[in-house]
């Protein structure tokens, strides 16, 4: 019953559930990933520590923002709990009065709040099997939170994953028409709400990746962000890999991604993320979804990070040159990653001219300016 145990009740990432006939009876508590990752409620940064996430939200998005906290965890939009939570609160940051509509198993309560407010009394009616929905009338962007207590809604990823696996095995060489055929085939399946969300998330991810390959950047960005949003609640290998790939392209480097040691993104997390793991010298990478689309630039960046981890600075700088002489850099995010690789490799190789130039560029950037100032001061 201690406070430390509370967060363990929450599973925000849905794992594949068994056949429908199975799950209500067994009410299995689903296995959670070893490290629970919480995503920011506004952007796609992710954190292991709740206080760090709260700090991030306050510092980055503090103006007129509202979020829900359940058993000390910040909830993005939906989550499953193995039991009725002990605490629930709506947190208001620099926000005027907002209306809340709280529905517990169909019973509706309405109230207005003008500061961070404890909502524990609405938990009294909840029991295993209950659903709680909270609609917050945040200015400009009403937000809905849904809590499922005791049972996970039906979500069987396998029937979708098999089809995605077959499709992705062809790589992105499959064009629009093939994607449309895949979409049509998946649309006639009888899917639950969460299976539909998962399907749409992966389809958006593939579509956005195709657009990026065609260098249609604004459109690809819209679809890839949509994919990230849709895939956030799922803990399947495909969803995780897609999230890592997206976090790398979108420079989500403030927190950590929680990649397992065998992931091909593990070293990239270590290299770029402020709170990532130590950079491993040896890395065996495996993936059971070999066709997951990763853009050409990301592939080169991963190769450069591997070379950096193996202390091969010449190769890092050679890959950086290749990237810069190509037409692969599409935006500032891309530039920042490539510049960091050049800066660190140049510095370690003792090439102060390179280090000075590259860190000088990073000093104007978003993520690595502190490192840049620290190094430049010493030069």
Which residues make up the interface to Zn ion (CB under 5 A)?
40, 42-43, 45, 60
In whole angstroms, how close is the CB of 141 to Zn ion at the nearest point? Answer: 14
Neighbours of 302 (CB within 10 A): 20
* CB-CB contact of 206 with 221 (8 Å): no
Tokens, residue 17:
């559930």
Neighbours of 58 (CB within 10 A): 14
In whole angstroms, how close is the CB of 74 to Zn ion at the nearest point? Answer: 11
The sign of the torsion formed by the CA atoms of 259, 207, 249, 264 equals: positive
In whole angstroms, how close is the CB of 45 to Zn ion at the nearest point? Answer: 5
In angstroms and rounded to an integer, the radius of gyration of the C-alpha atoms of the chain is 22
3-state SS class at 147: strand
In whole angstroms, how close is the CB of 43 to Zn ion at the nearest point? Answer: 3
In whole angstroms, how close is the CB of 61 to Zn ion at the nearest point? Answer: 6
Strand boundaries in the chain, DSSP class E: 10-11, 38-39, 46-47, 65-70, 73-75, 78-81, 88-93, 98-104, 107-113, 117-118, 131-136, 143-149
In whole angstroms, how close is the CB of 212 to Zn ion at the nearest point? Answer: 23
DSSP string, 14-77: BPPP--TTTHHHH-PPPPPPSS--EE-SSSS-EES-HHHHHHHHHHHH-TTEEEEEETTEEESS
| Residue 60 or 226 having the CB closest to Zn ion | 60
| Residue 346 or 365 having the CB closest to Zn ion | 365
| Residue 39 or 244 having the CB closest to Zn ion | 39
Provide the β-strand partners of residue 104.
107, 132
| Residue 37 or 40 having the CB closest to Zn ion | 40
| Residue 43 or 48 having the CB closest to Zn ion | 43
In whole angstroms, how close is the CB of 40 to Zn ion at the nearest point? Answer: 3
3-state SS class at 118: strand
| Residue 57 or 172 having the CB closest to Zn ion | 57
Q: How far apart are CA 194 and CA 197, in angstroms?
A: 5
Neighbours of 165 (CB within 10 A): 15
In whole angstroms, how close is the CB of 228 to Zn ion at the nearest point? Answer: 12
Contacting residues for 187 by C-beta, under 8 A, at least 6 apart = none
| Residue 61 or 183 having the CB closest to Zn ion | 61
| Residue 64 or 101 having the CB closest to Zn ion | 64
In whole angstroms, how close is the CB of 252 to Zn ion at the nearest point? Answer: 9
Q: What angle do the packed helices 193-213 and 217-231 form, to 10 degrees?
A: 150
Q: How far apart are CA 62 and CA 55, in angstroms?
A: 9
| Residue 141 or 189 having the CB closest to Zn ion | 141
Q: Select the residue whose beta carbon is closest to Zn ion and give its number.
A: 40
| Residue 272 or 359 having the CB closest to Zn ion | 272
In whole angstroms, how close is the CB of 88 to Zn ion at the nearest point? Answer: 22
């Amino acid at each position: 019953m201690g406070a430390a145990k509370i967060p363990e009740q929450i599973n925000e990432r849905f794992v594949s559930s068994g056949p429908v006939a199975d799950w209500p009876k067994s009410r299995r508590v689903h296995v959670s990933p070893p490290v629970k990752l919480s995503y920011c409620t506004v952007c796609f940064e992710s954190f292991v520590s709740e206080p760090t996430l709260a700090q991030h939200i306050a510092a980055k998005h503090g103006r007129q923002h509202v979020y829900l906290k359940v058993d000390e965890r910040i909830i993005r939009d939906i989550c499953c709990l193995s039991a009725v939570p002990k605490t629930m609160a709506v947190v208001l940051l620099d926000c005027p009065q907002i209306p809340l509509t709280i529905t517990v198993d169909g019973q509706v309560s309405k109230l207005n709040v003008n500061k961070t407010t404890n909502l524990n009394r609405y938990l009294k009616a909840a029991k295993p099997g209950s659903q709680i929905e909270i609609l917050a009338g945040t200015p400009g962007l009403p937000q809905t939170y849904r809590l499922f207590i005791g049972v996970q809604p039906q979500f069987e990823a396998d029937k979708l994953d098999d089809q995605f696996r077959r499709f992705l095995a062809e790589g992105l060489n499959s064009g629009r028409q093939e994607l449309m055929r895949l979409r049509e085939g998946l649309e006639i399946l009888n899917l639950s709400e969460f299976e539909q969300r998962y399907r749409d998330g992966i389809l958006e991810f593939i579509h956005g990746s195709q657009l990026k390959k065609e260098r249609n950047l604004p459109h690809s960005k819209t679809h890839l962000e949509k994919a990230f949003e849709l895939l956030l609640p799922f803990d399947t290998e495909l969803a995780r890999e897609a999230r890592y790939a997206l976090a790398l392209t979108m420079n989500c480097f403030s927190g950590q991604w929680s990649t397992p040691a065998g992931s091909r993104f593990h070293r990239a997390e270590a290299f770029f993320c402020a709170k990532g793991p130590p950079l491993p010298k040896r890395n065996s990478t495996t993936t059971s979804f070999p066709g997951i689309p990763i853009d050409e630039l990301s592939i080169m960046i991963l190769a450069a990070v591997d070379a950096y981890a193996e202390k091969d600075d010449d190769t890092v700088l050679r890959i950086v040159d290749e990237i810069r002489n190509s037409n692969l850099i599409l935006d500032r995010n891309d530039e920042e990653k490539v510049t960091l690789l050049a800066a660190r490799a140049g510095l370690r190789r003792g090439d102060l001219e390179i280090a000075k130039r590259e860190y000088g560029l990073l000093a104007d950037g978003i993520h690595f300016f502190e490192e840049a100032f620290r190094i430049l001061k010493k030069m």
